[in-house]
Chain A
């Protein structure tokens, strides 16, 4: 009896509230439109009003984002914000998850990714992917790189295949380290080398876009620097989208940066602007380290 009265008389105004969090929450609820410029001229990939559901749960809300030719778009945001989910929509890797449903419009060179006549297998040959954890196959270094060209029939004889393999390993900056042991298993390489092998593997099928899902999160700083250098070189020939937890990495490798928060795309702008002059309160909070 007494306790009930005591509960009623608690003065809630005395509870300390976090002003940053409060205003951020308010800003998030008000968020309907993405701040900045999500679209570009001559975009390689376009996405309009993309929503993604895992069963009942919605993971992505109305995302519009373009990826231009010869540019690196970085996607940043706290864990669980949907950036990886969005990335995996771009080559329909989400198809492997049975409960996943995607609505909205995604296109590559104007071709609808979820259209009836598009074969996801062929799409993935055009939109390659590098994963968070290096995942070389249980094969030799040579066979790892030759895997894609073989299944797509990109070479008619062994010499052509050799050329593709050597060329891809060169582009991935790995050739000099492994040229004497192409027969060694891919798994015998160090973590950083394995990730470069995975990049070489995606380059070998000659994609148009490369998606990278936190490609350096399992690597040490030196290996990370190598990969970042490589990403910058690859930009000359490919459109690249990279998901990263490291804001320094986003700042170093990308031309544009997209900030995701709880499934919404909050802000997209030139990387320099996002990090020096964020437009949205949430973005500012995140890049200044106040949360996330």
Chain B
């Protein structure tokens, strides 16, 4: 029986024991004079039986599957020829791997080498025994658990607390999966970065102003020495994000104020969804909009003014990214502005303030924490945005603050470092992890600052 089938059978058993446990609880309740005389509802007893049935079996299945390969391969020890052992540990692993693949693809009969064939046969036998043992153990555990729980269906058994405690642990484990995954990603990025920093000094990475990640593949290769100064990348990211925010914050905030304070209900009902459609456009579409429409337009406009605008410019990418971010800023700001209580506006009107005075001096300050939060969310979106920049801002790591020149960002460089055929132990590819780590640290700092700012305002004004 495969693991999937075993899981299905276990679940089926759990369902059946739920139904049986519940009906058992009903009959016990009848003896005691009604459901109210039991501590918990019949469905709680059913749940209790089902959980007692499923959980031990699931634990056995998971544990078995975790440890099975190691145990089985240790049994394989005697079947591996001496010559392989002599060739070192790596070749033993290779040999075992080979046998495993042969067994998995049901190709034992085709093996020519008799020693190998014997080993593969042994492995197949072991796996068969193991899976049989697993089925027997798991089903036995399920049935034992269920029957134990069935015995506990009594008027004074606290089945509800029992079930709720298990649900509680289930919720905790769900929450920790998200946290552990994040932790895992951070750690893997961290370790790869440490490998990178063993080859390139961290000082050079942080303070270097030249980014040219091509390293020599052959020893005698000329030219591609590789230099990993990340400053141009971070400056490029900051420049483009800054341009995006310069576009997104005023437009987003103004449109939020219009929608929340001035627009009539029908206008609002039409405009708000329309604005939010902007957020639904894939960024790659914005990318070619930026590359094919905005950048040439900027270039020809710059030419009329006598400015030289490169065909891929930070301005084009930043402006389009800003347009993409407008709905974030406006939607979040609109929500917080609408949430400012009407009584505060009334108070201001009651003092003879005009509508614009009320908005500027009462509503916006009251909504500020939420607005700042929305803007910071937009900033992290801008920093992480890749597609538009790849298409419209170019790949050249120029160290410049001129928005009319081509620049590149951290995310774009990560993409170019890792796409295509790459070897995963060169400084070039490892640099991507270091960049990722730096980006993570920067956004983390930004979020911490944002939370701090927002909380400070909250304390003061709520």
Give A contacts to B, CB under 8 Å: 91, 93, 96, 121-126, 128-131, 133, 135-139, 147-148, 151-152, 185, 187, 198, 201-202, 205
Nearest CB to that of A140 among chain B residues? B460
Nearest CB to that of B342 among chain A residues? A96
Contact of B343 with A96 in the complex, beta carbons under 8 Å: no
Contacting A at CB under 8 A, from B244-258, are none
Contact of B354 with A121 in the complex, beta carbons under 8 Å: yes
10 contacts between A and B (CB under 8 A): A121-B352, A121-B353, A124-B353, A131-B350, A138-B460, A147-B362, A151-B352, A187-B462, A198-B347, A202-B351
A93 to B353, CA, bound (A): 12
Nearest CB to that of B364 among chain A residues? A138
Main secondary structure of the interface of B (DSSP, over half): helix
B307 within 8 A of A: no
A151 to B360, CA, bound (A): 11
Contact of B460 with A185 in the complex, beta carbons under 8 Å: yes
Known A137-B362, A151-B357; judge A185-B352 contact (CB<8 A): no
A-B contact count (CB 8 A): 78
B376 within 8 A of A: no
Give B contacts to A, CB under 8 Å: 341, 343-354, 357, 361-362, 365-366, 460-462
CB distance from B352 to the nearest CB of A (A): 3
Contact of A131 with B347 in the complex, beta carbons under 8 Å: yes
A136 to B346, CA, bound (A): 11
Known A187-B461, A187-B462; judge A125-B352 contact (CB<8 A): yes
Nearest CB to that of A136 among chain B residues? B347
Q: Which residues of A contact B348 (CB under 8 A)?
A: 137, 147
Nearest CB to that of B365 among chain A residues? A138
Nearest CB to that of B357 among chain A residues? A151
A141 to B354, CA, bound (A): 21
Q: Which residues of B contact A93 (CB under 8 A)?
A: 346, 349-350
The one of A125, A129, A151 in contact with B361, judged by C-beta atoms closer than 8 angstroms, is A151
CB distance from A141 to the nearest CB of B (A): 12
CB distance from B459 to the nearest CB of A (A): 9
The one of A133, A152, A202 in contact with B350, judged by C-beta atoms closer than 8 angstroms, is A202
Nearest CB to that of B264 among chain A residues? A98
A121 to B357, CA, bound (A): 11
Nearest CB to that of A152 among chain B residues? B352
A133 to B462, CA, bound (A): 15
Contact of B352 with A122 in the complex, beta carbons under 8 Å: yes
Known A138-B366, A187-B461; judge A151-B346 contact (CB<8 A): no
Known A185-B461, A187-B462; judge A205-B362 contact (CB<8 A): no
A136 to B343, CA, bound (A): 9
Q: Which residues of B contact A151 (CB under 8 A)?
A: 351-354, 357, 361
Q: Which residues of A contact B349 (CB under 8 A)?
A: 93, 96, 124
CB distance from B455 to the nearest CB of A (A): 14
Contact of B343 with A131 in the complex, beta carbons under 8 Å: yes
The one of A138, A139, A147, A185 in contact with B351, judged by C-beta atoms closer than 8 angstroms, is A147
A202 to B345, CA, bound (A): 14
Known A125-B352, A152-B352, A185-B461; judge A135-B344 contact (CB<8 A): yes
CB distance from A241 to the nearest CB of B (A): 13
List of 9 A-B pairs having minimum Cβ-Cβ separation, nearest first = A125-B352, A129-B350, A138-B461, A138-B366, A124-B352, A135-B343, A148-B351, A135-B347, A121-B354
Contact of A124 with B366 in the complex, beta carbons under 8 Å: no
A148 to B362, CA, bound (A): 12
Q: Which residues of A contact B362 (CB under 8 A)?
A: 137-138, 147
CB distance from A41 to the nearest CB of B (A): 28
Given A138-B365, A147-B348, 7 further pairs, Cβ under 8 A: A124-B351, A129-B346, A135-B341, A147-B353, A187-B461, A198-B347, A202-B350
A230 to B367, CA, bound (A): 33
CB distance from A216 to the nearest CB of B (A): 16
Nearest CB to that of A122 among chain B residues? B352
Contact of B350 with A96 in the complex, beta carbons under 8 Å: no
CB distance from A134 to the nearest CB of B (A): 9
